[in-house]
Structure 1
Amino acid sequence: MVRVGACQTPEILGDPAAALDCVEQFAAHGAAREADLLLFPECFLQGYLTDDQHVSQHALELDSPGFAAVLRRLAPVEATLVFGVIEADSGLFFNTAVVVDRGQLVGRYRKTRLMPGETVFTAGEDYPTFVLRGLLRYGINICSDTQFPEPAARVAAQGANVLLVAAQNMMRRPTATRFKDLHHSMRADRARETGMWLVSADVTGTREDRIAYGPTSVLSPQGDVVAQVPLLTTGMIVADIPVMPR
């Protein structure tokens, strides 16, 4: 078994130091529960806003001194960390999830299925997979990627057992209410189609006329919810994922 944790966090906007505080707090709980990997929401480091000013002000190049400082701060964390960042590269911006292990950048995934409101970002093209502790192969989707079969299928085709989904569903209240039960429905389709476990992490709370319910959850390859942080509650779930060849 490999133990994977998913963190349902408050929304933190434009304050990377506070986001790192949050990562460290969850990592302490994760260490107590012996988690091998912890997953955090979409664009978590800088906060998910898609206006030009926020993105250009807070985007980081992954080889920059600013991101190197992030890695140094996370070096004491023993669990592998997967969290969302707003990435800058060659004048373009990407909605990215990074994989960090003991302060080292292992790799990244750039969101491929952008929403209509995400015109500030450039879509990614690749579906890298990673191996956790030499035992479990996994890949990443970001939020709306899971509305489409291909991103999950591209991960599964490489022999992955687990799909990690970094999400951020702070929506206007009518939309959030309509979608709060649909997230699991779409994700269950991806799990059943691919035979992978699916682990998601989301934010929760309110902002002006918006609300984020979650969900942060673990779905089995049959599409069943086997663990979930209660909606509108910050917290963490852990699940033991069997290591099985695909």
Structure 2
Amino acid sequence: MEISLIQTDVFYKDKIKNLELVAEVLANSERVGDIVVLPELFSTGYIFESPLDIQALCEDYDTGPTISALSRLAAKYGTTIVAGVAEVDKGQFFNSVAVIGGKGLIGKYRKITQTNIDKLYFSRGDTLFTFEYQGVTFGIAVCFDLWFPELIREYSKLGVEVLLHPANFGGEQSLHISKARAIENSVYVVTCNRIGCDVTADIVGEYCGKSQICAPSGELLVQFGGEAGVKTVNIAVESSARKKVIGVDLIAEMNAVNYQLALTK
């Protein structure tokens, strides 16, 4: 199983240029993995002057041009693309990740945990998402989701072996948390972060890159620096990655109340 991470800067609010960039990166890659992972909100940016700015860029996944364009790329390279794409559905807006194959949308995950920025723009998702590919069970978490161990334990109970983690973060805490979650749950954690910055009158968001793949042992199989690039890594999902964490049910019960409180703050 080969996984390609594409770490990029973002052309702010310019979906066409961001899609062209992904197409160019794939065309120039020596090989394209079975799974290609892009950052959170890769086609728009993350921080805006007004909620209306990002909400105007959100797409209906059934008709949106970004999903269609990524599906064509998935078909061309025989891959499955996992990408953060802002979504609108029945008047609600979501920080979502699309899983896209050559025949179109396979499924989607809506970010469950919210930063203060997310709360300004988006409704909160409420459902975990898994999919099977080449005999491996994948789950999706978006950026801040990884900070909540209870959420990742729920994925572990669903049999997830590889957690795909599109992100937009500036500090390195998430990199350490990624390693902890991999070890705790005996899963691969595949983090694809962006670089560059979003600038508004009130906030400057700077993103550090350093995308990485962490094995269940905690070993880093690959880690980027702070530059744009693409790396393809072969991972071998062994039987040990299929084990449930000892005591996960008890731990989940003990933390259930605190988890729900954290999500509503």
Specify the alignment match of 1:48 in structure 2.
46
Q: Distance in 2 between matches of 1:111 and 1:146?
A: 11
- Structure 2 unaligned segments of length 5 or more: list them: 243-265
Specify the alignment match of 1:36 in structure 2.
34
Structure 1 stretches of 4+ with a deviation exceeding 6 A read: none
Instruction: Give the residue type in structure 1 aligned to 2:207.
Output: A
Q: Distance in 1 between matches of 2:196 and 2:66?
A: 27
Check if 1:239 corresponds to 2:240. no
- Normalising by the residue count of structure 1, what TM-score does the alignment of the two structures yield? 0.87
8 Å CA contact 1:183–1:215 kept in 2: the answer is no
Check if 1:135 corresponds to 2:138. no
Q: Secondary structure at the match of 1:127?
A: coil
Aligned counterpart for 2:211 among listed residues 210, 216, 219? 216
Q: CA RMSD in A?
A: 1.9
Tell me the CA shift for residue 186 of structure 1: 0.9
Tell me the CA shift for residue 135 of structure 1: 2.1
- Structure of larger gyration radius: 2
- Structure 1 unaligned segments of length 5 or more: list them: 170-175
Residue deviations 1:50-107 (CA, integer Å, cap 9, x gap): 5312222101011125456435543423211000011001110000000011141000
8 Å CA contact 2:71–2:101 kept in 1: the answer is no
Check if 1:197 corresponds to 2:188. yes
- Normalising by the residue count of structure 2, what TM-score does the alignment of the two structures yield? 0.81
Specify the alignment match of 2:62 in structure 1.
63
Higher strand share: 1
Residue deviations 1:26-55 (CA, integer Å, cap 9, x gap): 32345x324111100001122223531222
Size of the alignment, in residue pairs?
A: 233
1:135-214 residue pairs with structure 2 within 5 A?
A: 135-169=135-169, 176=170, 179-180=171-172, 182-208=173-199, 209-214=204-209
Aligned counterpart for 1:227 among listed residues 222, 228, 237? 222
Higher helix share: 2
